A and B are shown apart, each in its own frame.
Chain A
């Protein structure tokens, strides 16, 4: 991490009050009263992002990523702790913070459908005090970069999801902010468009040392490919924070195998967890087959797994040893895959 800091949070926490249906009996008259439930979205989050860094927040839906971005962009007050952006306190110095940030969210439908791409972008530039001639010049240049120049005079309501997201991305970069927040910027984009957007973000950060991007994603590849450092976040807590390389190296001493086997029930899969040398097991069922992701202490532990499979009359269809990925780091830290965590999550974070 590089000094000076662009973003810093200290013991940051956020609790939401949810008006639920939980009811309790009141006084002797047994009046039923609605009791708000509390949901902890962030807990004791300590993050330091240096100027010029492309920092990733990786976690499943509902992990607290969006909540953290909302606090840092002055849209939400923290319940506990403090946060600073470009050296300014996000709760006490909101005007200063707002002058040096911008935000792009995946799947957003901001702007007005009746306006053209160029008009929408110009309108937003005015809210940042950009002189019109300069704003128009920058709009032309950036539309060229994201190859949207030929749609500059198209009404934004006529754009596809991908093209609309490109317009949103230009909106975020247009003001050339010191700190840019990108909340799932490639959400809904096809593979090619996502790759181009990632390349563009990387170039933008690399061209100036004082530019910082905080990007949230639940795509492992995106975090791995793009970010200088990554914080893995789950249930409102930061579980690990390091470069993707270092995070993966933490698993280097372990052996990671992917096995494709004939159908296996959940209990059968759980039985592997207790075998000696088996650190983590993730079980998926796909197309009438079972997939086992195994994190083992060493390769020798694989023998025990194979024996167990044989004793259960399970056939091994494919076996592959592979290098650790951020997904494996997540499994190691959380105990479940991101997909499994998201399957159990109720709402976004």
Chain B
């Protein structure tokens, strides 16, 4: 710094009447927007996602499509795979940038700054979720568009409203799960990386990303339904493909009701886990310790 220049500036003091700072719900909204911003902007600055999150899922989709066509499976299966491939982007996002995120925030020293700020930690998590969802939606949309054009998928949508409602419920429940596991992963500390790795592929399989979940035994399918994408994907397939209802696991209204229940459970769980994590962090002092 040029000391002379710095000394000549008389701007250390803020203006005589600085505007009032927001508190309450306004602060909550500001925090959500503030924390969502890096997620959205990162998409424009880090272009490698185009390869990892669009090209690679499309390769996996293509492999399944070729297999289904080779064995003469019904044409709607191709559509199932394309929709499933698009939804993998959300699962990857939740796993790697929601569940593991508080751990990385701790390592970088951000977590301590979040905790000691007036912002609500739920708003910070919600911001991560909102930003992540926005950025991922674009990726999912690209996969759907490219996959549909490439493999000439035919959709039969009766009710766009219902489709949007099911999609919305799936997303809230899914990101609620991510918000809840963020605190859990943090408490497990160094295992976060391994946990995320461990959860990735099995969930692709058990949630029926590339085939109807009905192919499983009822109880296995029901257990898999704890992951919101399982029922969300199944319900959406029933709503957009002609043969969807005949291949569905449960009826759409039942699946929507279960998803709504999962939303409540996961969001409440996220709040409780976060409060527990903060309490533990303050009691033991280890969780906010950043590496120097």
Contact = CB atoms under 8 A, between A and B. Distances in A.
Contact of A127 (B3, B38, B41, B117): B117
Contact of A130 (B11, B21, B292): B21
B159 interface: no
A129 B22 contact: yes
B149 interface: no
B266 to A, nearest CB: 24
B288 interface: yes
B108 A103 contact: no
A140 B12 CA distance: 11
Contacts of B38: 112, 114-115, 119, 123
Interface stretch (B24-32, B58-66, B160-168, B219-227): B24-32
Interface residues of A, number: 57
A75 B9 contact: no
A92 to B, nearest CB: 12
Interface in B5-38: 5-7, 9, 11-14, 18-19, 21-23, 26-27, 30-31, 33-35, 37-38
B142 interface: no
Given A114-B42, A127-B31, A145-B6, A138 B113 contact: no
A142 B14 CA distance: 9
Given A119-B37, A131-B22, A126 B31 contact: yes
Contacts of A343: none
Contacts of B23: 99, 129
B61 to A, nearest CB: 29
Contact of A207 (B12, B115, B283): B12
Given A16-B285, A129-B26, A176-B14, A74 B3 contact: no
Contact of B288 (A75, A134, A166, A193): A75
Given A196-B6, A203-B12, A76 B285 contact: yes
Contacts of A138: 14
B138 interface: no
B261 interface: no
B190 interface: no
Interface of A: 16-17, 67, 70, 73-77, 95, 98-99, 101, 103, 105, 107-112, 114-115, 119, 122-131, 134, 138, 141-142, 144-147, 155, 166, 173, 176, 192-193, 195-196, 199-200, 203-204, 207-208, 348
Given A110-B110, A111-B108, A196-B6, 20 more contacts: A70-B285, A75-B281, A75-B285, A77-B282, A99-B118, A109-B109, A122-B37, A123-B34, A124-B117, A126-B31, A126-B34, A126-B119, A127-B35, A127-B118, A145-B9, A147-B2, A166-B1, A192-B1, A200-B12, A208-B13
Interface of B: 1-3, 5-7, 9, 11-14, 18-19, 21-23, 26-27, 30-31, 33-35, 37-38, 41-42, 45-46, 108-110, 112-119, 124, 281-285, 288, 290, 292
21 contacts: A74-B115, A74-B282, A75-B115, A75-B288, A76-B282, A98-B117, A99-B23, A103-B116, A105-B109, A110-B113, A114-B45, A127-B117, A129-B27, A131-B22, A138-B14, A144-B9, A147-B5, A155-B45, A173-B12, A199-B6, A207-B13
